[in-house]
Amino acid sequence: MHAGGMTDLEAELRAAVRGEVRFDTTARALTTMDASNYRRVPLGVVAPRDADDVVAALGVCRERGVPVVARGGGTSIAGQATGTGVVLDFTRHMNRVLALDPGARTAVVQPGLVLDRLQEAAAPHGLRFGPDPSTHSRCTLGGMIGNNSCGSHSVAWGTTADNVRELAVVTARGRRLRLGPGWAGAPDGLRALVEGELARLRTGFPELPRRISGYALDALLPENGADVARSFCGSEGTLGVLTEAVVRLVESPRARALAVLGYADESAAAEAAAGLLPYRPLTVEGMAADLVPSPAALPRGGAWLFVEAGGESEAEARARAEAVRRAADVVDALVVTDPGGQRALWRIREDASGTATRMPDGTEAWPGWEDCAVPPARLGAYLRDFRALLTAHGLRGTPYGHFGDGCIHVRIDFDLLTGKGVARFRAFSEELAGLVVAHGGSLSGEHGDGQARAELLPRMYGAGTVALFERAKAVWDPDDLLNPGMLVRPHPLDANLRFAPLPRRPVDVAFGYPADGGDFAAAVRRCVGVAKCRTATVGGPAVMCPSFRATGEEEHSTRGRARLLHEMLAGEVITGGWRSTEVRDALDLCLSCKGCRSDCPVGVDMATYKAEFLHHHYAGRRRPAAHHSMGRLPEWLRAVDRTRTAPLVNALAAVPPLARLGKRLGGIAAEREIPRLAPRTFSRWWRARRPAAGARGPEVVLWPDTFTEHLTPSVGRAAVRVLEAAGLRVTLPPGRRPRVCCGLTYVSTGQLDRARAVMRRTLDLMAPVLESGTPVVVLEPSCAAALRTDLPELLGDDPRARRLASRVLTFAEGLDRLAPGWIPPRLDRPAAGQTHCHQHAVLGDAADRRLRAAAGLTGELSGGCCGLAGNFGFERGHYAVSAACAEEQLLPAVREAPEGAVILADGFSCRTQLEQLGGVRGRHLAEVLAQALADGTDARPAPGEGWRDSGRTR
């Protein structure tokens, strides 16, 4: 070790390369796993800036005998993106499109380039890269070449190998080669090896579109053009390190139509898939109903084929899709040409890689046999045998995938936590390998063999061909430096399992984790590495993961934080347990937006995990000042109200030196303005008002949340006006001064003992309401979300918590359910703004959409997160990330809003962010409708048509 704790290896790498070299705990913990069942702990991570850095890093590692693993997006499903030596991370610097030639239809790309960035560069020229895995928003071209990835359009455009022209690679011994057809770039000895085994190469490889297993040595046959680049594809980083690629682009159809065909079950869909290939579709994808949380958008059936057709015009594409529909013997079908409708349907299919990790009853399911492939014509028969084998082993799994190519994805409910379960995993794997081979198939049809299947390659190829693979590896990498244990001389398929180091008994936690049996480790295990949270851009309503998009750092993604929590529980790399500073620092930039709760295909809830961690991390220790100043905000504001000192507090906050001192003491960002307190709280206004007369509708309790009560009582007053106009009888919670509180600020700062005390007091105060069953309307979305989710999960032992949670309605839901015949005032104006992230993730906005439509408020609200997110954007050190999040969707949407647009923001944080960063006043929907009522605006729908119905049909 050198001074400061640096190892000799780290010091030599730092001296040799210009890119980042990280041997710290966080970097190592983030790269222990990919999206597979496997885990290996690396020594460190190098982010090379260019090919020279790659050569230099390989040189240092070769001298020290340290293995090297090339890593892209880390979404590999067979374990090949994990290693015990040095990991090369290409996503940080070597991530560009270097050139694009529309005439030649080629692009020159670096290995760390995310596929969607290439598609964006090619799209203006009417071109695209053909292969498109479901992880297209975060997988890299280097990873796709390493695994010979395919995707849903392979029936039209083939595998990655079919779309590669040239590859620049560096061998383990530092030679730079330019690979291509005609033996271009072949290392010494490769041609002689092939020419001595021509008979084996001509007879030993099954013919099927998705044969990914093993090395593609048959691409080196003279009749196949002796294509060294094609042969290199699918080698999983074991032969050389890719530094640049020339790839083929294909013409993208001007128009597309999607036929979704419903079948009785997945076997029926599989039987039908091959018969649709003569129609030359772009896709033939299959999935079963078990993988669809809500099949409302799909035609009737127990399984579906997604068949996409292209054309020069929408009419031509539709005609081709309709021809497919007519040819198919289906239970039901639909054809969609609207691009938005197609995207929504494709999201259902793409999310299957995550939703498949849970069985319908919530049981965990795992990869391992994720993508074997058989000839398409044999798919139906194979699936029947596959189902029988599952049953024989007492296992369950739901197949989905690329039915048109005979490639099946499936997650199986293996028990990988006990010795008996792991033994069953091995026995099943061995038998399934035999079944795949009996049907003429390949153990891997898309994601590579890695550690999951390489041990079983002799069953597919025989010992002689596998020995030939080992000789080929020795030609390229005689020192076995590159990704050892993959493809040849592999690790056993039941070694290095990611779950082995986790504690076997549930750890003591505060939240109930009802979906995970109360087990925090099971909650953390939800993250399987699909990495949808690493999407660099987000459109539409999606939220997850704003901090990653702001920083681009893995540790600020949902997956990265889940990895660190996993390693914290494992205790091998991160040894501090709940006191870990590495986990604390990674969670520091989590906005607790809850976007992952809905956007993550497996429902990881990092906001809850963060609160849990902070609760333990600061137990018996001094907390940051912001936890006291903002975490206990309801207490301070009630004290101000009791002493009637709001004007004095506002006056003091307006004095710059005092404001600076107060922010410094309170842990508040210096860039922030302190919001002004209302001179009169909402409940004081309520007590002084004259009760409304004539309301005969249902009674509702209006929740006086902290923000409405003390900071924006105008929202509460407006809500009362609208709810009463709708005929509802509005009351407040019992008591002269309501002290009810959802506990949100305590939860978000991890003060969970205090949160539970506050919540129990609230349940006591709300006892009469719970007895009567009166609905509770909550105006602040974050408070409504806390009552719906945090309350019952923190107080699972109190049945009153679930009762209150079930009574909670948003403002729009209250009108929707309790006053369906009411007709709101018509504004006939465009609207802009943002759907609150908690509303998107927990509450839903269907009722809001109907209400806006009925009121004539047109346009879509943006997604994302405002970036203020309660206390987050006010905390010292968070301002830059907070502002970056606002600039992603919210502020551009408001700037680009048409003249006269209503700026909607139901959350106090969203309104504050708009005012402080954009100089714009956002309004709660209640305020907008109340103003319209006051102005007498009242253009109504047709007689007898309630606002719910009019909103649905507009």
pLDDT digits 0-9 by tens, 314-350: 999 999 999 999 999 999 999 999 998 998 888 888 7
Q: What's the maximum distance between 2 C-alpha atoms anywhere in the chain?
A: 98
Q: Which CATH architecture has domain 97-251?
A: 2-Layer Sandwich (3.30)
Q: What is the pLDDT of residue 45?
A: 98
How far apart (Å, rounded) are the C-alpha atoms in residues 460 and 466?
A: 9
Q: What is the pLDDT of residue 936?
A: 80
The DSSP line for 406-446 is TEEE--B----SSHHHHHHHHHHHHHHHHHHHHTT-BS-SS
How far apart (Å, rounded) are the C-alpha atoms in residues 694 and 700?
A: 15
Q: Which among 361, 352, 410 has a CA at the least distance from the CA of 530?
A: 352
pLDDT band at residue 735 using 50, 70 and 90 as cut-offs: confident
Q: Which among 860, 869, 878 has a CA at the least distance from the CA of 908?
A: 869
Torsion angle of the four alpha carbons 364, 368, 374, 378, in this order, in degrees rounded to the nearest 10: -30
User: Taking residues 222-236, what's their average pLDDT?
Assistant: 97
Q: What is the pLDDT of residue 354?
A: 64
Question: In the predicted model, is pLDDT for residue 622 greater than 80?
Answer: yes
The CATH number given to 3-89 is 3.30.43.10
Q: 749-753, 877-881, 939-943 — which is least confidently predicted?
A: 939-943
DSSP assignment letter at 778: E
How far apart (Å, rounded) are the C-alpha atoms in residues 562 and 545?
A: 13
User: Taking residues 673-694, what's their average pLDDT?
Assistant: 90
Question: In the predicted model, is pLDDT for residue 168 greater than 60?
Answer: yes
* Crossing angle between the packed helical segments 606-617 and 558-570, to the nearest 10 degrees: 40
Q: What is the pLDDT of residue 355?
A: 66
For the stretch 8-62, pLDDT in tens is 999 999 999 999 999 999 999 999 999 999 999 999 999 999 999 999 999 999 9
User: Taking residues 125-135, what's their average pLDDT?
Assistant: 95
Percent of the chain residues past pLDDT 90, beyond the cut: 88
Question: In the predicted model, is pLDDT for residue 953 greater than 70?
Answer: no
Identity at 952, one-letter amino acid code: R
Domain 255-447 has what CATH class? alpha beta
Domain residue limits, the chain = 3-89, 97-251, 255-447, 520-591, 630-819, 829-936
For all residues of the chain together, what is the average pLDDT? 93
Give the containing element (helix H, strand E) for 589: none
For the stretch 366-385, pLDDT in tens is 988 878 999 999 999 999 99
Q: What is the pLDDT of residue 934?
A: 93
Q: What is the pLDDT of residue 351?
A: 73
Q: What is the pLDDT of residue 942?
A: 32
For the stretch 597-614, pLDDT in tens is 999 988 999 999 999 999
3-state secondary structure (DSSP) of residue 398 = coil
Q: What is the pLDDT of residue 385?
A: 95
Q: What is the pLDDT of residue 951?
A: 34
Question: In the predicted model, is pLDDT for residue 775 greater than 80?
Answer: yes
Size of the chain, expressed as the number of residues it contains: 954
The DSSP line for 279-327 is G--SEEEEEEGGG-S-GGGSPSSSEEEEEEEEESSHHHHHHHHHHHHHH
For the stretch 428-459, pLDDT in tens is 999 999 999 999 999 999 989 999 999 999 99
Q: What is the pLDDT of residue 363?
A: 84
Neighbours of 442 (CB within 10 A): 28
